[in-house]
Structure 1
Amino acid sequence: MLAILTIVALCTRFYKINEPDEVVFDEVHFGKFASYYIRGTYFFDVHPPLAKMMLGAMGYFIGYDGHFLFENIGDNYITNNVPYIGLRALPAFLGAMTVPIVYMTMREAGYPVITCALAGFFITFDNMLVTQTRLILLDSMLVFFMVCSIYSYVRFYKTRNNPFSARWWAWLLATGVSIALTTSVKMVGLFTVATVGVAVVWDLWVLLDIRRRLTMQEFMNHFWARALGLIVLPAVIYLFWFYVHFAVLTRSGPGDDFMSTEFQETLLGNTMADGLFIKYGDNITIRHKDTAVYLHSHPHNYPRVYDDGRISSAGQQVTGYAHADPNNVWHVASGDPNDSKTGQEVKHKDVIRLLHVTTSSWLLAHDVASPTMTTNEEITTYSTEEDGSRYNETTFQIMLESGGNKLRTMASTFKLIHVDTKVAIWTHSQKLPDWGFEQQEVNGNKNIIQKSTLWWSDNIEGTDPAEVQAEEVKPVKKRSFFLKFIELQGKMFSHNAGLTGKHPYQSQPIEWPFLTKGISFWTQDSTRKQIYLLGNPLGMWIAAGSLAVIVGVAGADILSRRRGFYPLDQGVQKRFYYATGFFFVGWALHYFPFFLMGRALFLHHYMPAQVFSYIILAAVHAFMFTEGVDGPISEPGPEVRPRRLQRAVVPALAYISAAVLAAIHLGSFLYFAPLSYGTSALDVPALARRKLLPQWEFHFAK
């Protein structure tokens, strides 16, 4: 049975894996990252590096040179000479291997063969698991390492009566390695850590029972062994993959802008190391870090009265302009009227003034509302021909955020804090009306902590090339691995939390078990083929029902026992709570945390929980249709290999019901397979028949 399921799983994943021969959905990201690894070019991603490095290594071993950058969905692999089948083969193989691991997990948990086969069958013929694992994506690795973690922990738990034996240590360490690999693929691997953690805490609680006759020293030995195997070892492995990540990606690349100046200076070819120190008296250009526009002014004024009736100062406009222009140049002057400091280097916390060169006017902030935001201050300029009564309104303190203690072109990011009113010079993507030539508004932001108030200087006007050559040649700098690791972790978390933009195919966690919305992965207009990500509708809906059964049975059992009734046999009850309950905890911990996330979410985020739901469905079938089999989890005892498990008498009804479930699941899979594989086109009536829910947005359906 194990061999048959494995072969069938391989067939479902590798069936016409060469189609489509175009970039599909998020292959634009993860295929590109594999190319960057082969090139050694630094990039930034919100996920840990392991799965992307695996794809890069796969490409390297099959002779791929990383020349293709997967720019657009629909780009042709064959035309661009990309060995895409080899790249897809890795996630497809691991996706197929998930099936035998699940089968063996159920078998080790003491379930009969029919139950194990059902769990493997459900996963083999789930449309989402098939689609997602036969493309250049990360979820195949995530789910594979997750089920390896669960399998390893079940094997470890079975050795509990032989603590500290070689086999006990082997499976403890295997669990630690597996959860480390899971977390090293995606941060949601922490949900797997939590699943194992709950089981470990329960296990330690049981060991603490005085009836176990363990001394406190013996208990602490158990505690420290688990801490070593399940905390220290995974942490070291997690760090190791980032060490490899930094060691491979040594060249400047598209990920530079996400990192600090100090980080960027460790990369070959990065321009940060070429920056010149800015001195008082220099004429410079200043750019906004987030939107890259220049700080700009021109001889045009704000309107005296805005469209909403508000009054402005009618001063000279200060805007954000996207193109190089003489009006982008500012002269750096000292904020101290008694000391010009000409020729001295500008340092952190210096007070400066900025003179707009072409209009001879000083940058100024004052307590007048900005054109588009009444809460922020207007930024304007103040002519040098006027009297000096507004001198204090033209002074700004420069606060360096990176690049050392002195202001440098390219290398330093800084804030300009108005000395008088304590606002930061800021711009945002909103455009001014026609009177502002549709350039970006620049205003004074009271939230000076906000990261979007950062600027940098890219050029010193009139710099003599000989002076640049005379500057000391700056070699690539070294930086502590732990400083780079901590910085990257912070960027990953903050950027992930910031993925709040709307997407037409995003969905909410409450929708996932019921499959109310899918994702369009790929379409081809010429052939009318498409890939639309859906789970197996009937299988997922039945699995969702099995989750309700678990809650209902547990609630009824607890209430009954409270009143002195014992409806479940002791062996059945133990299996229900220790095995099925463990899998239910795994489902819950891989599902409910998504309700707390503010970022955009998609159906494929349900994949790990979906695997648990199919395991639970098989377990519920066993609970309903087979006798309880005394297995190694239901009762304490020495480890027993599956072939030595006591064979149970499985009622004929169990086989019949299993066959019915399998037939429903397989039929549903085959019915939606054309949308899962994208290998054949469906006409409009066929698409209409498959549109079971109105939210499913199939292409070519009208």
Structure 2
Amino acid sequence: MPLEKARRPSLNPFLLLRGPVRPYVFTDNQETNSWLNFSLAERIHLTILFILALSTRLNRIGNPSYPVVDEFLSVQKVNNYIKGEFFLDYNPPFINLFYTLIAKLFGYGLKNFDIVNIGAEYITFPYYPLRIVSSFLGACSVILAYKTLRSTGVSHFISLFGSYLLSIENSMITQGRFIFKDGIYVFFIALFISSHKAEEVKKRFSFNWFIHVIISAVSLGLLMSSHWSGIFFVIYSFASHLLELWTLIGDVHITFKYALNNFIMKTSIYIFVTLAIYLSLFNLHFNYLDKVGEDYDSLSPYFQASLKDSHLENTFSNINFGSNIMIRNYKTGNYLHSHEDFFHSSSRQQVTMINTYDDYNNLFKITQLKGDLDNDTPVIPPFRVRIYHDRTDSSLVVDSANKPPLSEQEYNSLLTTDTNFNHNDENVKRYSFQLKMATNYCKNEAAKNALRTVDSVFQIYNEENSCYLLATPLHLHEGFSEGQKEVICIKEPNYEASLWFIDWNDNINYTDNKKRLVLNKLSFWEKLYEVHCKMFKKLYIGNPGYDEPSSNSNVFDFMFLKKGFIQWVTSDLVIYLLGNFIIYYLIAIAIIIYTAFKIFQISTFNPFQHSTSLDSPTYKYDRKTMDYLLLYALVIIPLTFVKIETHLFNYLPGVFIGVLLISQSFQWSFEKLTTLTYILVGVFTILATLAFVKFTPIIYGLTWTQEQCLKMMASPNWDRTICDSYSV
């Protein structure tokens, strides 16, 4: 039978039946499966919609002809992969790998390498193809949204309306037409949700059901491998499977074994496929990036040693007096550092912590307190030494008369240097530091008994003041120490923060046959663990002690467009991320309506009265909207507590899910008040289109004026600073 003449599917296949103990809702699987039967006319409508969505994204795709701010970061990551230089990111690696693959397919590589800078035009980097790929996937997200809505019982008319809103949504277009992660991440969200919802209406354990389960699992693995918030989609999928299990158990037509097998099979496939993809992509990430790169200083010595051109390749293991060394804190990984500048509070030379290894001011020497200062003998117990700073010809001392610039408690002392050392002086004790071995942290027995590079872990104890050197998380804001961290001497320190090790060791008296440092290279699992610890710290711990005010916005700033994001500003070009306020406000209204509906439902619920009939449109609205709202919350709530800066583009997954919420609400209205819904759909379609058209200058970088811009600032709470970029 031709599709256009096929029986139109029922949108309400839910029946209330009487069970042996209580009534239950029976879902006609044959009817729900028919939701995904598309007629020829519907396919034509979808084709037109796809062309529209693609054209809104491809319009002026070459403008500007150089990377905008965030686009530059993506291009930089591609170049890192091309050169094999290691970097750290708080997002998993898939999208960067994906862009690198596309760039390579278009012939980009080391032979035609392009050193891309912000504001400089691309020369050989294939920015057109990468932008086009992003735009194409953004248009595909619109079609996947349509399929998702049809899978949840939404009519063709309302599904088309919801998908149209996504095709003209300003922030989706702005962010989806450049070489950004967000547009591709939304695509995999769309692919996951559409397949996940389609599998729910397919006949369980059928071939089509199994295919959709696999697609759902693959897309879940890819989106988890794309963005730090992907883990919350994994949580959602598990919660969704539990909810489905609970629903199936209540249906007397289905055995418990059938329901349980469905849950176990889907959950097992999701977990196995998702983890397999996630781990495989990280393995590829580590294999690609095998050279020293921009985040080299943040890595542990063992990770550093696994990279080519590591500074540890030719360092020596045994440490003798007179050796040039770099001292590194065990907990923070920062280096002890000093330079010719003075603390404002004490006029003493600054001693700080710095996060880069390749600085001559990090070089110290361990020398004897008395006798030949460069005596080439091993440093062995009792480890009483002078720590000499070569660059400033000074020695490390503790000044108990002055307090550190930030940690000014009574029991803290200033760590500084002094140029007045004389090994025959009676005051030589003030330069004496005892290296107390942390035996539980040393890597082997030899490292406990004699000082060894990397392997020996110790505290640095000043005997005269009875205090330990401690690395604090506090950032200094004075002179040449701007951004460096404070280091102090404290009587009762946090143990791990007071631990140190020698990171690098060299001596002019060493012979070529002197024992070199040999570190066991990290396994894949050890690298994975270290990288994830750093990702977790960046996201959820941040930089404690950094006293700059947070620039994070709250969720309501995103929902009501109180703050946009500047992607590019020049004298004649402005690209500003600002959402379609009609659509954004509709999302908020849909959430408010459902919340009010749920409160009324709960407040009027009578546990002693069984229902005798089922309002199918209301039942469907309740179940499907609750599902979307759960996912919306899991995506949005984490934005309120992560330590990284969040901006409007972090809200785009919420916008995609929010449009599904809007469509579900309109479907409920459509089945209850059809005529009114037609009118509302028409009104909001016109308003959303006008909002899109009026704000096209900041989407595509068109000519605009300050006066025209200010007229479009419909709310006094919006960020109006963007209008200052235009001439009056």
In the superposition, the TM-score normalised over structure 1's length comes to: 0.82
Change (3 A) 1:167 1:343: farther
For residues 362 and 674 of structure 2, the distance between their equivalents in structure 1, rounded to whole angstroms, comes to 83
Matched with 1:197 is 238
Question: Is the CA contact 1:402–1:413 (under 8 Å) kept in the aligned structure 2?
Answer: yes
Question: Is the CA contact 1:431–1:440 (under 8 Å) kept in the aligned structure 2?
Answer: no
Question: Is the CA contact 1:32–1:68 (under 8 Å) kept in the aligned structure 2?
Answer: no
Identity across the alignment (%) = 21
SS at match of 2:425: coil
Aligned pair 1:424/2:463, yes or no?
no
For residues 479 and 233 of structure 1, the distance between their equivalents in structure 2, rounded to whole angstroms, comes to 25
The aligned runs of 1:350-389 (5 Å cut-off) are 351-356=383-388, 363-365=396-398, 369-372=402-405, 373-375=407-409, 376-380=412-416, 383-387=422-426
Matched with 1:68 is 114
**Which of 63, 66, 73 is the aligned partner of 1:29?**
73
Matched with 2:142 is 99
Aligned length: 654
- CA deviation string 1:65-98 (max 9, x = no partner): 26234443x2222xx3322111212221111110
Aligned pair 1:38/2:82, yes or no?
yes
Matched with 2:16 is none
Deviation at 1:675, TM superposition (A): 0.4
For residues 65 and 147 of structure 2, the distance between their equivalents in structure 1, rounded to whole angstroms, comes to 35
SS at match of 1:667: helix
For residues 608 and 91 of structure 1, the distance between their equivalents in structure 2, rounded to whole angstroms, comes to 16
SS at match of 1:395: strand
Question: Is the CA contact 1:279–1:342 (under 8 Å) kept in the aligned structure 2?
Answer: no
**Which of 308, 319, 341 is the aligned partner of 2:351?**
319
The aligned runs of 1:466-545 (5 Å cut-off) are 467-468=511-512, 470=513, 478-497=521-540, 499=542, 506-525=552-571, 528-545=572-589
**Which of 618, 623, 628 is the aligned partner of 1:578?**
623
**Which of 654, 659, 664 is the aligned partner of 2:687?**
664
Aligned pair 1:268/2:308, yes or no?
yes
For residues 18 and 592 of structure 1, the distance between their equivalents in structure 2, rounded to whole angstroms, comes to 36
Deviation at 1:228, TM superposition (A): 1.1
Question: Is the CA contact 1:352–1:398 (under 8 Å) kept in the aligned structure 2?
Answer: no
Question: Is the CA contact 2:457–2:501 (under 8 Å) kept in the aligned structure 1?
Answer: yes
Change (3 A) 1:282 1:125: same
Matched with 1:682 is 704
Deviation at 1:40, TM superposition (A): 2.1
SS at match of 2:568: strand
Matched with 1:171 is 212
Deviation at 1:557, TM superposition (A): 2.9
- CA deviation string 1:619-656 (max 9, x = no partner): 211212335xxxxxxxxxxxxxxxxxxxxxx9444333
In the superposition, the TM-score normalised over structure 2's length comes to: 0.79
For the aligned residue pairs, the C-alpha RMSD in angstroms reads: 4.0
SS at match of 1:353: strand
For residues 458 and 500 of structure 2, the distance between their equivalents in structure 1, rounded to whole angstroms, comes to 5
Deviation at 1:614, TM superposition (A): 1.1
Question: Is the CA contact 2:315–2:506 (under 8 Å) kept in the aligned structure 1?
Answer: no
Change (3 A) 1:505 1:396: closer
What code does the residue aligned with 1:510 have?
A: F
Answer with 662-671 or 375-384: which moved more: 375-384
**Which of 149, 161, 174 is the aligned partner of 2:192?**
149
Deviation at 1:550, TM superposition (A): 1.1
Question: Is the CA contact 1:378–1:444 (under 8 Å) kept in the aligned structure 2?
Answer: yes
Question: Is the CA contact 2:321–2:365 (under 8 Å) kept in the aligned structure 1?
Answer: yes
Deviation at 1:200, TM superposition (A): 0.9
Question: Is the CA contact 2:70–2:180 (under 8 Å) kept in the aligned structure 1?
Answer: yes
- CA deviation string 1:361-414 (max 9, x = no partner): 8644475552423232223556533337847963233669799848666x6796
What code does the residue aligned with 1:497 have?
A: Y
For residues 223 and 346 of structure 1, the distance between their equivalents in structure 2, rounded to whole angstroms, comes to 63
SS at match of 1:172: helix
**Which of 208, 224, 233 is the aligned partner of 1:183?**
224
Deviation at 1:664, TM superposition (A): 0.7
Question: Is the CA contact 2:396–2:431 (under 8 Å) kept in the aligned structure 1?
Answer: no
Question: Is the CA contact 1:156–1:171 (under 8 Å) kept in the aligned structure 2?
Answer: yes
What code does the residue aligned with 1:137 have?
A: F
Matched with 1:700 is 726
Matched with 2:650 is 605
Unaligned runs of 5+ in 2: 1-44
Matched with 2:433 is 394
For residues 379 and 259 of structure 2, the distance between their equivalents in structure 1, rounded to whole angstroms, comes to 61
Change (3 A) 1:253 1:345: farther
**Which of 133, 138, 145 is the aligned partner of 2:176?**
133
Question: Is the CA contact 2:475–2:484 (under 8 Å) kept in the aligned structure 1?
Answer: no
- CA deviation string 1:559-590 (max 9, x = no partner): 33439798995211221122222122221221
Change (3 A) 1:325 1:132: closer
Deviation at 1:457, TM superposition (A): 4.9
Change (3 A) 1:651 1:326: closer
Change (3 A) 1:132 1:343: same
Matched with 1:284 is 324
What code does the residue aligned with 2:296 have?
A: D
For residues 88 and 557 of structure 2, the distance between their equivalents in structure 1, rounded to whole angstroms, comes to 30
What code does the residue aligned with 2:403 have?
A: S
Question: Is the CA contact 2:387–2:433 (under 8 Å) kept in the aligned structure 1?
Answer: no
SS at match of 2:460: strand
Question: Is the CA contact 2:471–2:497 (under 8 Å) kept in the aligned structure 1?
Answer: no
**Which of 606, 630, 648 is the aligned partner of 1:562?**
606
Question: Is the CA contact 2:435–2:458 (under 8 Å) kept in the aligned structure 1?
Answer: no
SS at match of 1:423: strand
Matched with 1:227 is 267
Aligned pair 1:109/2:152, yes or no?
yes
Change (3 A) 1:350 1:697: farther
Matched with 2:103 is 59
Answer with 450-459 or 33-42: which moved more: 450-459
Deviation at 1:423, TM superposition (A): 2.3
Question: Is the CA contact 1:529–1:682 (under 8 Å) kept in the aligned structure 2?
Answer: no
Aligned pair 1:251/2:291, yes or no?
yes
For residues 662 and 172 of structure 2, the distance between their equivalents in structure 1, rounded to whole angstroms, comes to 16
Unaligned runs of 5+ in 1: 628-649
Deviation at 1:681, TM superposition (A): 1.9
